[in-house]
Amino acid sequence: MTLLAVERIKLFTTRSPWWCAALTLILTIGFSALIVGSTSDAAFITVSSAEFGYSFGLAVIMVLAALAVTTEYRFGTIRTTFQAIPHRGAALGAKTTVVALLALVLGLLAGFGSWAMAYLIKPGGDLALNSTDDWINVAGISVVYAFTAVIAVAVGILLRHSAGAISLLLIYNLAVESLIQLIPNIGPKIHEWMPFNVAHKFLTGTGGSNGGHGGENGPPLSTSPLSPAWSLAYFAAFALMMLGIAIYVAKKRDA
Amino acid sequence: MIEAVGLTKRYGKTLAVNNLSFSVEAGQVTGFLGPNGAGKSTTMRMILGLDNPTSGQVTIGGKKYHELKQPLRTVGALLDAKWVHPNRSARAHLAWMAKSNKLPARRVDEVLEIVGLTGVAGKRAGGFSLGMSQRLGIAAALLGDPEVLLFDEPVNGLDPEGILWIRKFMHRLAEEGRTVFVSSHLLSEMALTATNLIVIGRGELISQSSTSDFVARAAENTVKVRSPQLGLLRDALVGASATVVEEGPALVVSGMDSDKIGELAAANRIVLHELSPHVGSLEQAFMQITGDSVEYHTEIDGAAAQPLAPTGR
C-alpha cells in the first residue's frame, strides 16, 4: 500500500497526467457527440457507434502511461526511486498498478461518458443497455485501457525514452496492426492475433452492441477468432507478459 | 561502515572501476578524491545498488544496499542535484520519498527548514538555481535522518557562498557523528572538509590515508632562506646533504626542515635574514600523485605538469 501511495503522489504531482486525462475524455466523449450528431437515422445510433471513439482515447492513455515512467528516466528520478525502494520489481509493479488504475477510471468515464453524450444528443437512438454485449462495449473500455496502460508502461521501462516509447506505441497502434493485413496470405492470419485487434474483439464481439446491424453500418468488427472472454484473457496475458519482461530487464540493467 | 572489496565495473571495453577495495570509517568525513573520469560516481552508484558491480561487492554496515530495510533511514545520498522532476514542487518531491520509507510527513518540512528552502517549498523544482537544487538534494539525503551520507561532487558549479554553505554543512554533519563520504576532484576542497582520503585514479586505488598524511607525503615541503653570506650557507647545506636551489637572493632548500637549517647556520655563525617553511600546493601534490592516472590527457596538462618535476622550483 505504501508503494502505491508513493506512486500516486508521483503521478499526480506533475501536470502531464492531468492533461492526458482531460484529453482522453474530450476525445472519446467528443467523438461520440460528433458521430451521433452527424447521423440522421436514429436506427444507426447504437451503443457501438457511440463508443467507437475509444481507440482515440486509447492512444492518449498510451502517452500518459509511457510518460509516467519515461520522465522518471529522463529526469533521473528513477534512480532516486530505486534508492528509496531497492526492490525494483516492487517499485515498478506499484507504478504500473497506479497508472493502470487511473486508466481504468478514465476508461469508465470515457465509456459511460460517451454513452451519456449520445443519449443526451439523440435520446431516441438505439442506446438501451439491454444486453451483455452492450454492457461490455461500454464498461469494458475501462479494462482495455487498464491493460493498455500496462503495455505502455512496459514499453516505457524497456525504451526509457519518452519520444521513442510514444512513437513506437502510437505507430504500432495506429499503423502496424492494420498494415500487417497487407502481407499476402499470412498477413490477415497474423492480424487475427495482434493484441489490439483482439482487445477490439472483446469490446465489440460479433456486433451485438450495434443494434442488430452486426458489422454493417457501424464500426468495423475485429477479425479475431477468440470469444470475447478469451480475447480479454489473451490481451491481459500479453500485457502482463510485456510487464514481466520489462521488470526483468530493469532488474538486470544499471539504473 | 562502508566496505568495498574488489569492486570492479566494466562498461563494454572500458574498465571504469578496477578491483577497488577501501573502507570508510564511521563518524568521520572521508573524501573520495580522483580526477574527472576516475570512477568516483560509478563507485557511488554501486554503493547505492544502482549499478551492479561486474565483480566484487560493497556493503554498508555489513549489508548490501538492497538488503537494507527502508534504506533512506540508513543511507542518504546526493549524487545529482538535477534528479528531480522539474514540474514537481520541492515539497512533493520530498513527500513521495518520505512516504516510500514510511517517514512522517512533518519530516519533509523539517528538512526543508534545515536547508533553508521553506519559502520555496511549493515552487516547481525546475525553476531552482543550481544552489537551490543542491540544497533540495541535501534535504532529500537528510530525510531519513541517516547515519551514512554520500555526496558526489557537492560543490561543483556552486558560487562561493554555496560552497561555503556546503562545507559548513558537512562539518556539522560530522560533528553530529554521522559518516560522510564525499567525492571531489579538488584536493584543496577535500583538505578543508575531510579527515580521511581515499584517492583513486583510472578506477584503481591510489591511496587511503588521513588527509594530513596524504598532504604531507604528497606535497613537497621546502624552506626559503635568505642570508648575506649566501655562498657559505649553501656550502654548509650541501655539506649536510640537503638539496639546494638558488632563487635570486635566496636559497630554496628541500630535504631539511627549518629547525635544522637554523641550527646549522648558528653552528657556522652565518647570519640569516629569512627562514620560512613552505608547504607545497595541494593541487601540485595531487597532480603529482594522480598524474599518471588521468583519463584524458591534453597538451596543456603536460605543460602544467612540467614545473612539478621532483626537484621542485
Span of A159-163, B86-90, B179-183, B217-221 with lowest mean pLDDT:
B217-221
Question: For residue A172, what is the DSSP state?
Answer: I
The shortest CB-CB distance from A76 to any of B72, B82, B95 is to: B82
How close A187 gets to chain B, by Cα (Å)?
A: 40
**Region A70-79 average pLDDT:** 96
Average pLDDT, rounded, for chain B: 87
Q: What is the pLDDT of residue A206?
A: 87
Number of Cβ atoms within 10 Å of the Cβ of A59: 19
User: Cell digits for B264?
Assistant: 646549522
Express each pLDDT in A14-52 by its tens digit. Answer: 999 999 999 999 999 999 999 998 887 777 889 999 999
Residue B289 pLDDT greater than 50, yes or no: yes
Q: What is the pLDDT of residues A102-136, one digit of tens each?
A: 999 999 999 999 999 999 998 888 888 989 999 99
Q: Which three cell numbers stand for residue A194?
A: 495482434
Residue A237 Cα, gap to closest chain B Cα (Å): 29
d(CA A255, CA A84): 13
Question: For residue A158, what is its C-alpha cell?
Answer: 524497456
Closest partner residue to A77 (CB to CB) among B68, B71, B84 is B84
Q: Report the residue of chain A nearest B126, measured CA to CA.
A: A75
| Helices and strands, counts by H and E, chain A | 12, 0
Alpha helices, H only, chain B: 40-47, 90-100, 106-115, 130-142, 160-175, 187-193, 211-218, 230-239, 258-267, 282-290, 299-305
Q: Is the pLDDT of residue A176 over 60?
A: yes
- Distance between CA B226 and CA B243 in Å, rounded? 15
The span from the CA of B57 to the CA of B47, in Å, is 9
DSSP for B155-212, written as a single string: TTT--HHHHHHHHHHHHHHHHTT-EEEEEES-HHHHHHH-SEEEEEETTEEEEEEEHH
Which residues, 6+ apart, have CB-to-CB distance to A188 below 8 Å? A181, A223
* Residues in A lying within 8 Å of B, measured between beta carbons: 2-3, 5-6, 9-10, 13-16, 71-72, 75-77, 79-87, 252, 254-255
- In angstroms, what separates the C-alpha of A146 from chain B's closest C-alpha? 23
Residue B254's H or E segment, with its range, is: strand B250-254
CB-CB contact of B179 with B147 (8 Å): yes
Task: Centre a 10 Å sphere on the Cβ of residue A37 and count the other Cβ atoms it contains.
Answer: 13
pLDDT at residue B168, rounded to an integer:
87
Whole-number pLDDT of residue B258:
86
Reply yes or no on whether the pLDDT at A216 is more than 80.
Answer: no
Tell me whether strands B274-278 and B222-226 are parallel, antiparallel or unpaired: antiparallel
pLDDT at residue B312 is higher than 50 = no
Residue B51 has its nearest CB partner, among A6, A85, A254, at A254
pLDDT at A248 over 50: yes
Contact (CB<8Å) A86/B68:
yes
Q: What is the DSSP string of B14-41?
A: EEEEEEEEEEE-TTSEEEEE--TTSSHH
SS3 B68: coil
Residue B288, CB-side half-sphere exposure with 13 Å CA sphere: 19
CA distance A78 to A91: 10
| Residue B22: all three cell numbers together | 577501501
In whole angstroms, give the CA distance from residue A194 to residue B236.
94
pTM of the full predicted structure? 0.85
User: Does residue B143 contact residue B107 with C-beta atoms inside 8 Å?
Assistant: yes
CA distance B245 to B254: 8
What gap in Å lies between CA B100 and CA B94, rounded to an integer?
10
The contacts of residue B197 (CB under 8 Å, 6+ apart) are B30, B31, B33, B190, B207, B208, B209, B210, B211, B214
- Percent of chain A scored above 90 by pLDDT? 82
Using the predicted structure, report yes or no on whether residue B67 has a pLDDT greater than 90: yes
